[in-house]
Chain A
């Protein structure tokens, strides 16, 4: 398929913008509409844009990691965050937090809910990746036993 370079580039531009937006949503989630799910899904929606222009190969170009790695890491982060308080004699999932002052940013409040939400975000992003892995293959390419896309996926 011949790509229109300019379309390609603009989609990537939009993609990155949306990605930044999604990370913003992730971080403000505690106080405004947003949060891990929403942010992850928005990132996923952005990925579907990339898919539309370049198919599975284009989606695979987004990340160096395998989708299941992202997902598994997400689950690992969230569950570890959940487990951590147990070792301190708290209940599972108990949020542990500290607040401190940084010179430039002012008063910072940090709590374990954030890594938990990051885990959620990663899982959702990973899921979207996997969905494209599952359904995204070109029907024509799939007829051949060794499609190029796969080679590419494997080397990445």
Chain B
């Protein structure tokens, strides 16, 4: 079983190499990519099942035992994230193949997409902080390329913002790594966990905060989120879907992982995280309300909802973390679905701007349904998938109020989260009104396609519908899933098993 661990990283890389070698044969490229992503999905499900049963699995790359070499670790959290991510990547790939656009026109799409997949998998699997940096870079560099495929003016402009801010974050990451190595002499996370504990409290706290900032840029926390809504919407449709679903969540994953594993209780910046969570929710949704473009509304919603996950993290309780993890899973699926639906909207309506669209509940009823349910889920309307983690957050929040410290702050954040979910509802309903109900005010800037009963080409609709069903399944099977998230959360709060498995003591 351990042999499987590196495959989700290395197989896509091999596929990337093959895909560029076979660039002339589009079909071969596609077969390779789809096959590899199917394989990684299967592998990650296997790993999830196994890890949930037997506890964390490790592989020491090159047989160099930790903390010397690079260790790959699968625990429940990483297995959950990996599974969801692989499924999204696969669905979006199929969608991209079905869509007339970036994938067809750029031979480089497939290899770069594979590198992205490898980077995402690497970020979830690695147990080494510097390797996390490298995985981030794989993912980000691939995302720079995907974002600017096509080279339109707005893409290049947005790409600059995105690349420059990401590079700043990467430099900060290196800085943090250098400082951590300087203080501890190691970059292995399990080893760091032990050694950071010996540092003086003030320095520990400073490190914790530094890492919050470093990962906060990737996760798009307030006030570090501005790059996101400017850059995501310009990418080709499916690419935005992957970005929206996965990239920020990798940042959230890194936040959760670093704060729970590396820093012992007492040195975690709880107050800072709580405040950040509240502000992120609020400013994100405020931004969403002010938009006219479907993609931009959704992009701001990403930001806003990162706040919920950070809130769950900031509670540092099993309930809070479980809700945060569940929220991440839900959000990945819902956001990806919605951006894929946006692709369908653009395909059918020729635009993603609301005043150029309208009345699609008549012209594309399937698309309307595909939009409405995940959108309501996004707003946390029961019984759709967003409700469960929201309820979990409220409960854990109120439960935390009973405990010591941060009372007023937690109540405040819970209140903000409720108001924000109302505003989220408003923002998605705005899309519903603008795109599906009201008549169009202007003729669309792009060319509209005629759509059949499905509302788009089958290869676009089917992956979207699959994710739609997946979202519903998550809501229906929330019981066992939530229990899994709780187990993952209690692993996080009690990282002893993780550390001993990695260090082999």
List the interface of chain A (C-beta within 8 A of B). Answer: 68-69, 71-76, 79-80, 82-83, 86, 89-95
Contact = CB atoms under 8 A, between A and B. Distances in A.
A92 B23 CA distance: 28
B62 interface: yes
Nearest to B6: A92
Given A89-B3, A92-B6, A92-B61, A68 B23 contact: yes
Contacts of A92: 5-6, 10, 59, 61-62, 72
8 contacts: A69-B20, A72-B16, A79-B10, A83-B14, A90-B63, A91-B59, A91-B63, A93-B61
Contact of B62 (A74, A75, A91): A91
A90 B69 CA distance: 14
B21 A72 contact: yes
Interface string B293-331: 000000000000000000000000000000000000000
A148 B13 CA distance: 35
A118 to B, nearest CB: 14
Given A86-B3, A86-B6, A76 B62 contact: no
Given A82-B10, A91-B61, A94-B63, A75 B3 contact: no
Given A72-B111, A82-B10, A91 B17 contact: no
Nearest to A82: B10
A153 to B, nearest CB: 15
Given A83-B10, A89-B3, A76 B59 contact: no
Contact of A91 (B7, B16, B60, B111): B60
Nearest to B12: A79
B18 interface: yes
A76 B72 CA distance: 21
B219 to A, nearest CB: 28
Nearest to B72: A92
A90 B7 CA distance: 13
A72 B14 CA distance: 9
Given A72-B20, A86-B3, A80 B14 contact: yes
Does more than half of chain A's interface fall in helix, strand or loop, or is it mixed? Answer: helix
A71 B62 contact: no
Contacts of A74: 17
A68 B18 CA distance: 11
Contacts of B18: 72, 76
Nearest to A126: B20
A79 B14 contact: yes
Contacts of B16: 72, 75
Given A75-B17, A76-B14, A76-B18, A94 B3 contact: no
Interface in B1-41: 3, 5-7, 10, 13-14, 16-18, 20-21, 23
Scoring A73, A74, A91 by chain B CB atoms within 10 A of each residue's CB, the highest score goes to: A91
B209 to A, nearest CB: 34
B1 to A, nearest CB: 12
Contacts of B7: 86
Contacts of B6: 82, 86, 92
Contacts of A72: 16-18, 20-21, 111
A102 B14 CA distance: 34
A74 B20 CA distance: 11
A95 B13 contact: no
Contacts of A95: 62
A89 B59 CA distance: 11
Contacts of B21: 69, 72-73, 76
A90 B62 CA distance: 8
Nearest to B19: A72
A64 B209 CA distance: 52
B469 to A, nearest CB: 34
Contacts of B72: 92
A94 B14 contact: no
Contacts of B14: 75-76, 79-80, 83
A55 B111 CA distance: 29
Contacts of A76: 14, 17-18, 21
Contact of B17 (A73, A89, A94): A73
Nearest to A74: B17
Given A75-B16, A82-B10, A86-B7, 5 more contacts: A71-B20, A86-B6, A90-B63, A91-B61, A92-B59
A78 B60 CA distance: 18
B99 to A, nearest CB: 24
B426 to A, nearest CB: 46
A76 B7 CA distance: 14
Nearest to A69: B21
A63 to B, nearest CB: 16
Contacts of A82: 6, 10
A88 B294 CA distance: 51
Nearest to B61: A93
A-B pairs, top 8 by smallest CB distance, nearest first, are A76-B17, A75-B17, A72-B20, A92-B6, A93-B62, A79-B14, A93-B61, A72-B21
Nearest to B118: A79
A89 B4 CA distance: 11
B17 A79 contact: yes
A119 to B, nearest CB: 9
Contacts of B23: 68
A132 to B, nearest CB: 17
Interface in B328-383: none
Given A92-B10, A93-B62, A68 B20 contact: yes
Interface string B75-95: 000000000000000000000
Interface string B49-80: 00000000001111100000000100000000
Nearest to A80: B14
Contacts of B10: 79, 82-83, 92
Nearest to B20: A72
Nearest to A92: B6
A79 B138 CA distance: 15
A136 B7 CA distance: 37
A80 to B, nearest CB: 7
